[in-house]
């Protein structure tokens, strides 16, 4: 499969990383996504926030080329769906989720798991990483605070440590887009904060990938996540700079309960306000 050719943006007009216009996704008579228009520009990092069933993962499956829209247009990295080989496009997109850890070989070292991302393989069988591959994997693990885990078996790592190793694995592929699908699910508070700190380092790296963070919890949106897409029932409730979207009104509408947002040290903390509890 040949690499995708680059498509140049018009002078002075930055080409969106992602451009969705009027996108619907209907499966088995059920509308999963309805009339979504969403543009992501270079240098932006986005959180996708909303309740269960809001359409967050479905929308990112469209971006990653795993779901084709029923209606509307999709352009990712300058390439229009219907005119691009989605298999080639997916080589520029990484997806990290807790479910991925269950598919890996627990006896392999953290370094072996990380370097396997160079070959997009589950485990190292016939693949033979060269010294440059190993050096890059070690560097990524170090940047994510995992240098002390290099020789340790993946299966004995904590869930938070495994997630950071999986992020290093995804980055071995020189990605343009990195999707983190509820990466803190199941983590305790300390592990969650360690992972979010690693995310902040990653998203703040010059020339790094555009990061999409899927979450149910506003407090997980670290300051480096510049923008937020708020979804409910497959529709966009609000989209834009995080400080303008993660506020009482839109969040209450999306979540279906009255919510009060407090900001502390650049983070957003939500409190549900019910009349019968006041």
Q: What percent of the chain shows pLDDT beyond 90?
A: 41
Is 235 in contact with 34 (CB distance < 8 Å)? Answer: yes
Q: Which of 3-17, 23-37, 51-65, 76-90 has the lowest mean pLDDT?
A: 3-17
CB 176, CB 77: distance < 8 Å? yes
Can you give the residue ranges of every domain in the chain? Answer: 18-277
| CATH classification (class only), 18-277 | alpha beta
DSSP-derived 3-state class of residue 167: helix
Q: Are 225 and 242 in contact (CB under 8 A)?
A: yes
Q: Can you give the pLDDT at residue 276?
A: 56
* Cα–Cα distance, 252 to 246 (Å, whole number): 10
Q: What is the pLDDT of residues 88-112, one digit of tens each?
A: 888 888 888 766 666 667 888 888 8
The torsion defined by the Cα of 66, 169, 105 and 130, in degrees rounded to 10, comes to 120
Length of the chain: 278
Q: What is the pLDDT of residues 111-129, one digit of tens each?
A: 888 888 776 655 555 567 7
Give yes or no for a contact between 258 and 273, defined as CB atoms under 8 angstroms apart.
yes
Q: Whole-number mean pLDDT of the chain?
A: 84
Residue 63 and residue 178 in contact, taking contact as beta carbons nearer than 8 Å: no
Bridge partners (DSSP) of residue 33 are 25
Could you report the per-residue pLDDT of 174-221, keeping only the tens digit for each? Answer: 789 999 988 888 788 888 888 888 888 888 887 888 999 999 899 999
First vs last C-alpha separation in the chain: 62
What is the tally of helices (H) and strands (E) in the chain?
A: 9, 12
Instruction: Tell me the mean pLDDT in the region 24-47.
Output: 94
Task: Report helix angle 131-143 to 159-171, nearest 10.
Answer: 130
pTM metric for this prediction: 0.82
């Amino acid at each position: 499969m040949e690499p995708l050719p680059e498509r140049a943006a018009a002078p002075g007009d930055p080409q969106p990383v992602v451009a969705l216009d009027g996108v619907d996704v209907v499966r088995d008579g059920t509308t999963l996504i309805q009339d979504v228009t969403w543009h992501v520009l270079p240098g932006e990092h986005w959180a996708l926030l909303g309740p269960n069933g809001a359409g967050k993962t479905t929308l990112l499956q469209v971006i990653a080329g795993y779901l084709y829209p029923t209606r509307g247009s999709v352009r990712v990295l300058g390439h229009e769906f219907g005119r691009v080989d989605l298999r080639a496009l997916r080589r520029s997109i990484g997806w990290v989720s807790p479910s991925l850890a269950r598919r890996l070989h627990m006896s392999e070292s953290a370094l072996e798991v990380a370097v396997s991302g160079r070959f997009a393989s589950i485990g190292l069988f016939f693949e033979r990483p060269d010294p440059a591959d190993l050096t890059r994997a070690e560097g990524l693990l170090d940047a994510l605070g995992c240098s002390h885990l290099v020789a340790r078996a993946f299966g004995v790592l904590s869930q938070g440590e495994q997630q950071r190793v999986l992020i290093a694995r995804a980055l071995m592929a020189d990605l343009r887009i990195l999707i983190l699908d509820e990466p803190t699910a199941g983590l305790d508070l300390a592990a969650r904060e360690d992972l979010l700190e690693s995310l902040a380092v990653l998203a703040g790296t010059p020339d790094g990938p555009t990061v999409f963070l899927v979450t149910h919890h506003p407090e997980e949106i670290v300051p480096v996540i510049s923008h937020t897409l708020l979804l409910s029932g497959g529709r966009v409730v609000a989209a834009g700079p995080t400080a303008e979207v993660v506020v009482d009104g839109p969040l209450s509408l999306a979540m279906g309960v009255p919510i009060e947002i407090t900001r502390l040290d650049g983070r957003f903390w939500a409190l549900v306000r019910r009349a019968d509890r006041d």
